[in-house]
Each structure stands twice: as C-alpha cells, then as structure tokens.
Chain A
Amino acid sequence: MNYKTKEKIYEKILLISAFFSVITIILIGGFVFKEGFPTISKIGLIDFLLGKEWYPTKGVFGIFPMIVGTFAVTIGALILGVPLGVATAIFLAEFAPARVCRIIRPAVELLAGIPSVVYGLFGMVIVNQIIMHIERTYLAGILKPEYQRGYSVLSASIILAIMILPTVINISEDAIRSVPREYKEASLALGATDWQTIYKVLVPAASSGIIAAVVLGMGRALGETMAVIMVAGNTAIVPDSIFAPVRTLTGNIAIEMGYAAGDHVNALFATGIVLFVIIMVLNTVATYIAKRGVSQG
C-alpha cells in the first residue's frame, strides 16, 4: 500500500470520528422519540403537555406540572445564581488581587467538579432543614401546611444556583476579560471611576458573553437530575409558591424509571422527548447569541 492510500484511509477514519457526535445526537433523538412517541400519539400532544394530572399506573399522563416545575426551579436558580456569579466574575476580572484570585479560581473549579449527588446530599441534610425551620418558625401563619415541609422550589433553586455558579463565573469572566483594553483605558482617561467603567463600558461590551453564560447555566439547571430529586419533594402538582414541593421533568424520569412498566415507560421516554426539545431550542438560542457576540466584537 503506498502512502497516499494510507493517508486517505487515515483521513476517512478521522472523518468518521468527527461525525460521531452527530451520529450520537441523531441516535439519542431517534431512540427517545421512538420509545416515547406511542404515548404522545395515544394521548395527544396537547393533552400530554397541558394535562395537569399524572397517575401513570392508571394511564393518566399529563406533564404540565413537571414543565412548570422545571422552569420554576430553573428561573429560581438563575435569580439566585446569576447576580452572584456575574459579580464574582467582575470581581475576579477587575478587582481581585492576584493572591485572592489564586484562592477563588481553584475553588470555582472544585465547585464545578463536585458530583451532583454530593450537592444533593448537602441539600437534603442541611438546606431542607433550614428552610423547614424558617417555614415553621417564621412563616407558619402565612403558608399552607403542605408548604412547610422543607422540600420546595426554593431549596431546589438554591442547590441549582450553587451548581450553575462555576459555569456563570467562568464564561462571564472570559467575556469581561476579552473586552479590548482600549475601551477601559478610554473610559478611565475620560475621568470615569472604576465602577462607572465597569457598568457603563465593560459589562455592556461583554453582555453577549454574559448572556451566553446565563443560557449555559440555564441548560445545566434544566438538565440536573439527582441533586434536584433529593431536595424537591417530587410532588406532581403545579407549584404555586416558592415553598411548594415540586417535580421536574428530569426528576420525573429518574424517580419512576426503575419500576415503570408498559405504557408508563413510554410516557417517561415521552418526558425525555420534551426535555430533549427544550434543550435543543436552548442550544440553538445560545449558538445564535454566541454568533451575534462574535460578529459584534
């Protein structure tokens, strides 16, 4: 075999490797759709998505509570996590002395690496206890009894907020650091203070990167499973308070997959379809934002 044929073969092998991700994503989509579609076609897409009742062993499959639940905990996580994350990113990029950076950066890395079950364990044993204490001691008169049990949208949001911190911090910090130095110098030369420069110049210039950080953090929060089921209470009703127990789409699959049978299994795969579609839409949005950011920069 001459070297030209060999080179061609190597190239083909590499091409196949490169296509693996594409093949996998098609396979994942294909399998989840194949297994979940029977439920959707049987119940009807609208009834499946907007049905408020989930009694899988009696053949009632409505995942509206889980859709609301997923967005509730995700938005909660963003409200708690994004300001802290972005502020930390600004701090690291602009204010922190090198010595402090050397402590915070590995700390953020470690936060990113800790398995989600560890966060879940922490949430289950500590966060839920604290929230239950607050609910029963200070809010007992205001809240419904079923909202005084610790398991809540709030505790899930707190845990998720901690979990998305590294994503938000890292990407925001990169975005802020990649703002051309001249912008900052020009602003300071014009007599603006550090802080004015940050919020009038740096943050707006880095905004698309920061938004990308938020979108990616959102993706992580939407997709998190184990930590959430350990703290959320997993009640399949539409939450109407941050103290209400809640079940997410991921949680729905994870807690019931083990013992599901027949149609129930298909319904859980159908839940997977919904999750898959939500994430794909989010990815597309993220890609679009990232691209816009590039063309602007």
Chain B
Amino acid sequence: MLIFRGSKIALLLVVIMVAAIASTGCGGEKDSGTGLSGTVKIAGSTSVQPLGEELAEAFMDQYPDVNVNVQGGGSSAGIETAKTGTADIGTTSRELKDEEKGYGLTETIVAKDGIAIVTNNENKVTDLTMEQVAKIFSGDIKNWKEVGSQDGPITVVVREEGSGTRGAFEEIVLGNAKIIDTAIVQNATGAVKTAVTKDVNAIGFISLGSIDSAVKTITVDGSEPSEENVINGSYKISRPFIFLTANEPSEATEEFIKFVLSNEGQDIVSEEYIRVNN
C-alpha cells in the first residue's frame, strides 16, 4: 500500500516533467527555410544583457533554427568566457584592460550607452556641472543646498567596484578623485534606482537604457544624456558595449554579429541605447 502511494507521487512528478518537456518542444520548433542553424551562447555584462535579449529575439525570428542564449555574469566573466570558449560571444560594458587586450580577442563595438545621473523625483535640482557631479560623488559637496536645492545631506549611491558603469563613471567624471567611502553600494542598476526612488536626498548613476519616470535625469553642463548628445560629444559620460569573439567564430555567431551591426539591428539598439553605425 505504501509503495503504491509513493509511486503515485512519483507518477505525478513524471507527468509534470513530461508536460514541461512537451511544452519546451512546442515552443522551440518552428519551420524555417534559411538553413542557418546552431547555438550562439552569449555571456557577460548584465548591462548588455537586456539589449542582447532584444537582439536575440529579433535574430531568432529570422533564423528560427538558431538558438541564441543570452546570460549575465559580468564584464570580466564575459571576457573570461570568450577567452576560454565557454561562450561564443563575451560581452563587456567597459574598455578592456591592457592585460585583457593581450588575449587576442576580436572586439566589436555594437552600441554605446550613456551613463545618466539620476536623483529622486522630488529633488528640485535639474542641472549640475561636471565639477559639481564630481564633488558630490567624491564627498566635497555634502548637502543639496550647496547646489541650490533642498536642505538635506546627500545620499550617494554607487555601483560596486569592478562594474563597467562605475569604471566608466570614475574615469570620465572623477579622474583621480575617489568615490566617498560612505556611499551606499548596490550591485545592480535596478537596486540603484530603487535606492534613489526611496530617498529624496539620493543621487546615483545608471545606464541610459534603464531610465524611466521613477527617477529624475539630471542634465550635466546643460546637456541631456540623449543619443544625439552622446554622438555629438556634448554629453560626455558614456561607455561602449563590446562583443568579444575568439578566433574563427561559428557561422551562426558571425551571422548574429552581422545582424547586430546591420541597420535593422542598430534600429533595435537605438530604441534605448546609442547606435554605432550612422
């Protein structure tokens, strides 16, 4: 009797699994006549991941037999996986370091991303100079009234060390100055946004592609972080999104990169990021 009960549970599990497998099968197979097939595994920067997902979806609509898998892991992981071949394409959202350039990977810049300075919606400030931004993040300016806004101690929210967004921000805005060490550290764009949304005195920096009405975008030296301003150079805080490939990528991988750089691919890029072919 007991064995029978046990097997009932087992049976239930099997049914669930079979149903799951069946549904995967249905979702994955479509008819196609393009001939191109295979898997493209993309890993790396979580900043590039959303764009990668969009591009992959569009690409797979054209080539249903190709399976493009996009995952996170981080820029360094992206470089590492491209080097070892764990992924077909490694993505990074920061420039390669000198030692990493020695790995002999092919770099393709597929998009650019502006880094926007954001505050709480209740904050009265709308524009800051580059110098003010630098002073706020390095702790020389401590109160919002010093830049003509409400009286309140500034809550600086930053990304973790090693993040591409932080790296680019430090390099372009701070130069040799250091981020104040009492800053709140968050390890993801959304977490920075949440921190800024919840605190009237907060300021942070996030990828241009992640801006929405929850936070207020600050213009820097009067210039808005828009595609146009990044391209014409008046908005200076930006960074590249790079695809890294090892020698002799597969046909599907090559085709995917070609697609990303095509007008069609770049149109998808420019929905939220900045195109690289004009």
Contacts and interface: CB of A to CB of B under 8 A. Distances in A.
The answer to whether A and B touch directly, with their CB atoms under 8 angstroms apart, is: yes
Contacts of B183: 235
Contacts, number: 92
B182 A150 contact: no
Contacts of A256: 160-162, 187
Interface in B22-71: 45-46
Given A235-B183, A261-B79, A128 B164 contact: no
Interface in B80-108: 80, 97, 99-100
A143 B142 CA distance: 15
A255 B198 contact: no
A220 B79 CA distance: 34
Contact of B199 (A57, A149, A234, A265): A149
A256 B163 CA distance: 8
Interface residues of A, number: 34
Given A234-B160, A259-B76, A262-B99, A132 B198 contact: yes
Nearest to A234: B185
A26 to B, nearest CB: 25
A124 B162 contact: no
A146 interface: yes
A117 to B, nearest CB: 12
A55 B198 contact: no
Nearest to A54: B161
Nearest to A237: B181
B89 to A, nearest CB: 17
B155 A235 contact: no
Interface string B132-151: 00000000001100000000
B199 A235 contact: no
Nearest to B185: A234
A257 B244 CA distance: 20
A129 interface: yes
B185 A233 contact: yes
B187 A57 contact: no
Contact of B153 (A145, A150, A236, A237): A145
23 contacts: A55-B161, A55-B178, A56-B162, A145-B153, A150-B198, A150-B199, A151-B195, A229-B187, A230-B191, A235-B184, A247-B185, A255-B160, A256-B161, A258-B73, A258-B74, A258-B77, A258-B187, A259-B163, A260-B74, A261-B76, A261-B79, A264-B76, A264-B161
Interface of B: 45-46, 72-77, 79-80, 97, 99-100, 142-143, 153, 155, 160-164, 167, 178, 181-187, 191, 194-195, 198-199, 202
Given A234-B160, A264-B76, 4 more contacts: A149-B184, A149-B199, A259-B74, A260-B76
